[in-house]
Amino acid sequence: MTERSSSNEYWRANIRIILISLAVWFFCSFGMGIILRPALMGISVGGADLGFWMAQNGSIYVFLVLIFAYAWRMNKLDQEHGVDE
Amino acid sequence: MDQFTLNLLVVGFTFAIYIGIAIWARAGSTAEFYAAGQGVHPVLNGMATGADWMSAASFISMAGIIAMAGAGGYQQSAFLMGWTGGYVLLALLLAPYLRKFGRFTVPEFIGDRFYSGGARLVGVICLIVISVTYVIGQMRGVGVTFARFLEVSTDMGLYIGATIVFIYAVFGGMKGITYTQVAQYIVLIIAYTIPAVFISIALTGSVLPQLGLIGNHAPSGGDLAFLAKLDEVVMELGFTQYTAHTTNTLNMVLFTMALMIGTAGLPHVIIRFFTVPKVADARSSAGWALVFIALLYTVAPAVGAMARLNLTTTFWPNAVTGNALDGEALSLEAIENDPALAWITTWSNTGLLAFEDKNGDGMIQYYNDADPRMQAMAEERGWAGNEITKIDNDMMVLANPEIAALPGWVIALVAAGGLAAALSTAAGLLLAISSAVSHDLIKRMINPDISEKGELLAARISMAGAILVSVYLGLNPPGFAAQVVALAFGLAAATIFPALMMGIFSKRINKEGAIVGMLVGLIFTSVYIFLYLGWFFIPGTNMFPNTPEYHLFGISPLSIGTIGAVLNFASAWVVSMVTKAPPREVTELVESIRVPRGAGAAQAH
């Protein structure tokens, strides 16, 4: 039973990390890149407005950071819960 | 040495490498044939995934699709975010769990998790429809690239490409494909980056095209932002502002989402993550895949925007430093005599570029003749319409080295890169198809007693069969290839992605729910596409014109996969709630794939 509850706790922690990551994923691409672009027109990144840059380059960098951060955080979580390989 | 010999040498050299790898990496077991023996380093798998994923469309067409879009370059950013954001979903929601499951194919997970041959069969059907439609575009890409650079017919090019794939895919299986994809990635990324860097230096003084895009325009003195210059030039000629915002936010959101979940649901991409040794490797390998993909995808919008400005200022020489219309348009005499403009004749010979001196003034006026302001100006200046009658999207990448006056070996490299992109994607798709046939249909459904040796032979025969079918379809493509690819993404989004995700994140979704969900997604999405593009893409059988005013709530057939996915989730949930919960073994299976410990090697049954 202890093992089962520990694995449930592991899974809940995983879901929480996934939800936070997906919120960032959505905000940076759909949010700043598309929906909020008109509101962000005043902010510029070099010669582009923030929304344009997020849509064409910036969101891709955020995606990269997100995946590696998730991989790193999950490896730690695996160890904490003793379910690593 | 002339350009043709150079092209032949460079392409021949890359092909020799691919065949060499095929001889070295022969598959000796089904585990090697289907999943490269689970021994691929996560970084190498990331590179192979990059080549697997980046198709002829990414390499040859995407920059041009963005740059030449009628509604402006920003509008098509959906491709950039959509085709990269899918990897976040893969890394977080699918890849690690499917690696833990530890089998060989996508329908295998669907069949085992939903404890049903019916679900497995629906999975196989979706996989085959998605992968076959996708492979047709690759086969065409191989043929077209050969025809353009190596002076053979498109059909002949297709045969040559298919033979090369046959050699390394039939003998090497996933093992051969993986290591050739690594080599193909290196070829394609070098071929894409070199012309991009030179053009970026010429136009913005920046070595990195990513910085060039947001840098200043160098030829006009360096005080004006490059994008502002591009906006100014295209608007002066009556085209839509390059950075203009989308006119249909809902459709752009749904299209981006369809590309993202479609990417995460593509079987040939998912199976790449079965080849790494551990669950943790599957997570990091998705990150590495995106690193290698981002090297091309962050450069592509710069390549497109810069090629567009280059092309426009070529036809309006005064626009380089001032206003286009203050000077004269490019003269026919210059096109014929100026060696720096020889590419215009070369590419008009290929049919990708066409111009016509309609008003007979010896000059080529390039402008938007649908714009009222430009129509008035044309009247005043005696123009008889836009005289560039065709600019193919593909030219933005293929002709780039010549427009930038780069040496011949760079042109040859672009040819080899285009072929590498198309061949690597074709091979990955063919493996997904053949493993679904030999493993899911033959081993798991028709003849479970087949021996290891027998299954390996069946896998090789299925691969050969899949290649023959794709060659036939490449020679006789149904409808337009671009439309067919739209179907592949929509279907992957509406069928496979939701089924896999529910299989991992819910213990309550049962076989009835999964089957109904996949069928609802499949039928809804394909019918919506057929309504606008013709039943089974047969021209003339569409019920409505494919224009925004006829689309339901302005949602284009390209974006409908997102709605199909939502309907899949909803119907699967409703049906599961009113039918029996899955048996105990299945909830135990779900428990086990949720924790990484004990992944080990994939089981061979």
**Residues from chain B contacting residue A84 (CB–CB below 8 Å):** 280, 596-597
Above 80 in pLDDT, residue B603?
A: no
A46–B211: do the CB atoms touch at under 8 Å?
yes
Question: Measured between alpha carbons, how far is B21 from B358 in angstroms, rounded to an integer?
Answer: 54
Q: What pTM does this model have? A: 0.93
| Closest CA relative to residue B470, chosen from B67, B164, B51, B131 | B131
Mean pLDDT of B519-535: 91
Q: How many CA atoms lie within 13 A of B446 on its CB side?
A: 9
| Closest CA relative to residue B262, chosen from B3, B19, B565 | B565
Compute the mean pLDDT over every residue in chain B, rounded to the nearest whole number. Answer: 91
Question: CB within 8 A of B414, min separation 6: which ones?
Answer: B191, B195, B397, B398, B400, B401
| Closest CA relative to residue A49, chosen from A34, A61, A69 | A34
**How far is Cα of residue B527 from the mean position of the Cα atoms in its chain?**
23
- Within the 66-95 window of chain B, which residues sit less than 8 Å (CB to CB) from chain A? 74, 77, 80-81, 84-85, 87-88, 91-93
Question: Measured between alpha carbons, how far is B530 from B536 in angstroms, rounded to an integer?
Answer: 6
Question: Measured between alpha carbons, how far is B98 from B592 in angstroms, rounded to an integer?
Answer: 11
Amino acid at B604: A
A22–B92: do the CB atoms touch at under 8 Å?
yes
Interface of A with B (CB under 8 A): 7, 10-11, 14, 18, 21-22, 25, 29-30, 33-35, 37-38, 45-49, 51-53, 55-57, 59-61, 63-64, 66-68, 70-71, 74-75, 78, 82-85
Q: How many CA atoms lie within 13 A of B505 on its CB side?
A: 18
Q: How many CA atoms lie within 13 A of B238 on its CB side?
A: 17
Report yes or no: B304 at the A interface, CB cutoff 8 Å.
no
Give the tens place of pLDDT for each residue, B196-253. 999 999 999 999 999 999 999 999 888 899 999 999 999 999 999 999 999 899 999 9
Give the tens place of pLDDT for each residue, B264-317. 999 999 999 999 999 999 999 999 999 999 999 999 999 999 999 999 999 999
If phi over 0 gives left and psi between -120 and 50 gives alpha, with beta otherwise, what is residue B248? beta
Give the tens place of pLDDT for each residue, B350-395. 888 999 999 999 999 999 999 999 999 999 999 999 999 998 888 8
Mean pLDDT of B481-485: 63
Question: Measured between alpha carbons, how far is B147 from B156 in angstroms, rounded to an integer?
Answer: 8
Residue B383, token pair as written in the block: 């123009």
B283–A64: do the CB atoms touch at under 8 Å?
no
Question: What per-residue confidence (pLDDT) applies to B604?
Answer: 44
Domain boundaries, chain B: 3-306+406-491, 312-391
| Closest CA relative to residue A26, chosen from B112, B260, B118, B161 | B260
Question: What per-residue confidence (pLDDT) applies to A1?
Answer: 36
Q: What is the DSSP letter of A41?
A: T
Cα torsion B86, B92, B95, B98 to 10°: value is -130
Question: CB within 8 A of B132, min separation 6: which ones?
Answer: B433, B469, B470, B473
Question: What per-residue confidence (pLDDT) applies to B549?
Answer: 86
Choose the closest CB to A64 out of B211, B291, B597: B291
Question: What per-residue confidence (pLDDT) applies to B562?
Answer: 96
Mean pLDDT of A63-73: 97
Chain B residue with minimal CA distance to A30? B253
Choose the closest CB to B88 out of A52, A67, A82: A67
The tokens 């995407």 sit on which residue? B62
Report percent pLDDT > 70 for chain B.
98
Choose the closest CB to A47 out of B84, B216, B279: B216
Above 80 in pLDDT, residue A5?
A: no
Question: Measured between alpha carbons, how far is B540 from A25 in angstroms, rounded to an integer?
Answer: 41
- C-alpha torsion sign, points B512, B515, B518, B519: negative
Give the tens place of pLDDT for each residue, A32-59. 999 999 999 999 999 999 999 999 999 9
CATH number of B3-306+406-491: 1.20.1730.10
Residue B376, token pair as written in the block: 């008035």
Above 80 in pLDDT, residue B484?
A: no
Question: What per-residue confidence (pLDDT) applies to B600?
Answer: 60
Question: What per-residue confidence (pLDDT) applies to B576?
Answer: 97
Beta bridge partners of B390: B354
List the beta strands (DSSP E) in B496-578.
Answer: none
Above 80 in pLDDT, residue A7?
A: no
**Residues from chain B contacting residue A53 (CB–CB below 8 Å):** 214
Report yes or no: B406 at the A interface, CB cutoff 8 Å.
no
